[in-house]
A and B are shown apart, each in its own frame.
Chain A
Amino acid sequence: EAGVAQSPRYKIIEKRQSVAFWCNPISGHATLYWYQQILGQGPKLLIQFQNNGVVDDSQLPKDRFSAERLKGVDSTLKIQPAKLEDSAVYLCASSPTRDLSSGNTIYFGEGSWLTVV
Chain B
Amino acid sequence: AQSVTQPDIHITVSEGASLELRCNYSYGATPYLFWYVQSPGQGLQLLLKYFSGDTLVQGIKGFEAEFKRSQSSFNLRKPSVHWSDAAEYFCAVVAGGSEKLVFGKGTKLTVNP
Contact = CB atoms under 8 A, between A and B. Distances in A.
B70 interface: no
Q: Which of A103, A108, A113 has the most CB of B within 10 A?
A: A108
Tier of interface size on chain B: 20 to 34
Given A40-B105, A103-B51, A108 B32 contact: no
A39 to B, nearest CB: 10
Contacts of B41: 110, 113
B56 interface: no
Nearest to B92: A42
A13 to B, nearest CB: 19
Contacts of A42: 4, 90, 92, 103-106
Interface of B is mostly: loop
Given A42-B104, A101-B94, A110 B99 contact: no
B43 A91 contact: yes
Interface string A88-117: 000101000011110101111111010000
A30 interface: no
Nearest to B32: A101
A103 to B, nearest CB: 5
A109 B45 CA distance: 9
A72 interface: no
A48 interface: yes
Interface in A2-42: 4, 40-42
A41 B94 contact: no
Given A45-B100, A100-B98, A101-B98, A108 B106 contact: no
A55 B32 CA distance: 20
A106 B99 contact: no
A101 B49 contact: no
Interface of B: 4, 32, 36, 41-46, 49, 51, 90, 92, 94, 96-101, 103-106
Given A4-B43, A43-B103, A91-B44, 16 more contacts: A42-B92, A42-B106, A43-B90, A45-B100, A56-B99, A100-B32, A100-B99, A100-B100, A101-B32, A101-B96, A103-B51, A106-B46, A106-B101, A108-B45, A109-B43, A110-B42
